[in-house]
Structure 1
Amino acid sequence: MEILFDGMRWLHIVSGFLALCIFWVPIAVKKGGRPHRKVGWVYVWAMGSVSVSAFFMGIYRLTWDAGPDPDAIPFSWFLLLIAVLSSATAWYGIRVLRYKRRKAVHRQFADLLFPGLLLIMGVGISVYGWFIDFPLLQYFPILAIFLGGSQLIYWLKIPKTTSHWIVEHIVGMLSCCIATVTAFTVFGAPRLLNIESVSLIIWFLPTIVMVPMIIAFSNMYKKKMDRPKKSA
């Protein structure tokens, strides 16, 4: 089992580093163009590997070997939350493109499962964070609760705007980018900088920076695509 854990850890490191290096490309290039689509798919597959490996390592730490670090258990729960958050947002970002022309309520199990799980995990881990007085677990799950709830609402409502699919694609993929950079600041940065931990504000910096970016891109496409048609 330890050999498998080491393999998953290396998969996590390599995939996470790849995702961290390329996540900005689909943001910067022309939307819908070849580079956007090609690099976007590489990012999605990289984050899929990150999610699977993170989920395995989190379960491993919780059930087999937490190690001597007293914060290993709380960070393992955070790792599980990041795994679900990454996979849920990436899946959502892809699926809204496939159903961009839908005119009815969407109840496919595969599309309701992830946001439901994200919502439940967000609530449970936040309660756990308050119980053990661990700030990262107290506040970060709020993002998971919001995203899980908003995704469920989107699928269970009939779209009323032309821009609905591209706005939700932006929300999904940039939320996945938040998970990418947050995981690096929590797990990678302390090791690279050879410090024990970083401050809470640094952990939340990706969210603070990227949420306004999500709002700006969403408003831009809403204005562009939802303009009322001029009468002849």
Structure 2
Amino acid sequence: MLMGMALFEALVVAHVVTGTVGLTAFWGPIVTRKGAANHRKWGKVACFGFLGAGTLAIAMALLSLYGPEHRHPEITDRTLYEGLFGWMMLYLGVLTLGFVDYGLAVVRHARDRPALRRLRHQAVIAAVIVSGAWCGFFGFKVAHPLMVLVAFIGIVAMLIQQRYIWRGDDPPKGTHVGEHFRALIGMGISAYTAFLSVGLIRLVPEHVFNPAIWAGPSVIGVSLIIYFTIKGKRTAAPRASRTRPHPQ
């Protein structure tokens, strides 16, 4: 039992370290000029941090689900604890890895979109959808809307990615940039939510099941996606009108 607790606490510390690196560097690519050296540098640091945090979140979730002892005895609703800190944490870890994988791959294969159809990338997307579906079902069963919300957001994001990957015609030039950006924001949403769970249960355990607190990263992240998407379309519209040939 003591060894299990020590292992779990070690994973928490490592999760905090890697998560702090990712969450701090996450804002670098957003505020720097797209494609510039600083943008790529901050992006790589954020991705590596999130890869570590996502992997550790999966490990902690498995320990919460199948560990030899119950952690946090102050939590009396063990079913809901299993849902939030087990299945949802597992899903968020997989979702974070999925966004990192797609965000990097969509840029790497900008000129070879069919490469995203390979088993290696499709397996990651499938893992996100399956874990998200189970998270949503479990959340519906225990009547916790947050689990359903984050599952819905992640599954819809994967379907949007698949639409880009499998579309028959060639997308407009630069479409992969928007896909890359959405993956970056999605990566931040899932990582912030998973990271929040680690501190929330320790700092304010009385609010650990409050969906309003948990939903914060999703609300902010989706708002950023909408804002930058609208801004990008407004920027692209004048450019398109300038390049359109005038009638003779």
Normalised TM-score (structure 1): 0.89
AA at the equivalent of 1:123:
A
Aligned to 1:207: 218
- Assess, with a 3 A threshold, how the Cα gap between structure 1 residues 19 and 132 changes in structure 2: closer, same or farther: same
Aligned residues: 232
Does the 8 Å CA contact 1:163/1:222 hold for their aligned counterparts?
no
Picking from 83, 107, 116, the partner of 2:93 is 83
Does the 8 Å CA contact 1:15/1:46 hold for their aligned counterparts?
yes
AA at the equivalent of 1:53:
L
Counting aligned pairs with the same residue, the percent is 25
- Assess, with a 3 A threshold, how the Cα gap between structure 1 residues 137 and 154 changes in structure 2: closer, same or farther: same
Structure 1 CA distance for aligned equivalents of residues 113 and 105 of structure 2: 15
Comparing 135-144 with 50-59, which one deviates more in the overlay? Answer: 135-144
Picking from 180, 185, 188, the partner of 1:177 is 188
Does the 8 Å CA contact 1:126/1:142 hold for their aligned counterparts?
yes
1:95 matched to 2:105: yes
Picking from 31, 39, 55, the partner of 2:34 is 31
The Cα of 1:111 is off from its aligned counterpart by 1.4
1:2-31 CA-to-partner distances (Å, cap 9, x unmatched) read 244333222111111222222212111111
- Measured on the aligned residues, the alpha-carbon RMSD in Å equals 2.3
- Assess, with a 3 A threshold, how the Cα gap between structure 1 residues 194 and 77 changes in structure 2: closer, same or farther: closer
The Cα of 1:45 is off from its aligned counterpart by 0.5
1:132 matched to 2:146: no
3-state DSSP class of the match of 1:201? Answer: helix
What are the within-5 Å matches in structure 2 for residues 208-227 of structure 1? 208-224=219-235, 227=240
1:48 matched to 2:51: yes
What are the within-5 Å matches in structure 2 for residues 182-193 of structure 1? 182-193=193-204
Considering only CA atoms, is the larger Rg found in Structure 1 or Structure 2?
2
Does the 8 Å CA contact 2:93/2:194 hold for their aligned counterparts?
no
Structure 2 CA distance for aligned equivalents of residues 147 and 196 of structure 1: 28
Does the 8 Å CA contact 1:104/1:157 hold for their aligned counterparts?
no
Picking from 168, 178, 181, the partner of 2:179 is 168
Aligned to 2:62: 59
AA at the equivalent of 2:125:
P
- Assess, with a 3 A threshold, how the Cα gap between structure 1 residues 144 and 65 changes in structure 2: closer, same or farther: farther
- Assess, with a 3 A threshold, how the Cα gap between structure 1 residues 182 and 161 changes in structure 2: closer, same or farther: same
Comparing 184-193 with 86-95, which one deviates more in the overlay? Answer: 184-193
The Cα of 1:225 is off from its aligned counterpart by 5.0
The Cα of 1:180 is off from its aligned counterpart by 2.1
3-state DSSP class of the match of 2:215? Answer: helix
Comparing 86-95 with 96-105, which one deviates more in the overlay? Answer: 96-105
Aligned to 1:122: 132
Picking from 2, 8, 15, the partner of 1:5 is 8
Normalised TM-score (structure 2): 0.83
Does the 8 Å CA contact 1:66/1:73 hold for their aligned counterparts?
no
1:73 matched to 2:82: yes
Comparing 161-170 with 197-206, which one deviates more in the overlay? Answer: 197-206
- Assess, with a 3 A threshold, how the Cα gap between structure 1 residues 213 and 42 changes in structure 2: closer, same or farther: same
Structure 2 CA distance for aligned equivalents of residues 64 and 200 of structure 1: 25
Gaps of 5+ in 1: none
Does the 8 Å CA contact 1:93/1:172 hold for their aligned counterparts?
yes
1:128-165 CA-to-partner distances (Å, cap 9, x unmatched) read 11112223223221111111222222211143211210
AA at the equivalent of 2:179:
E
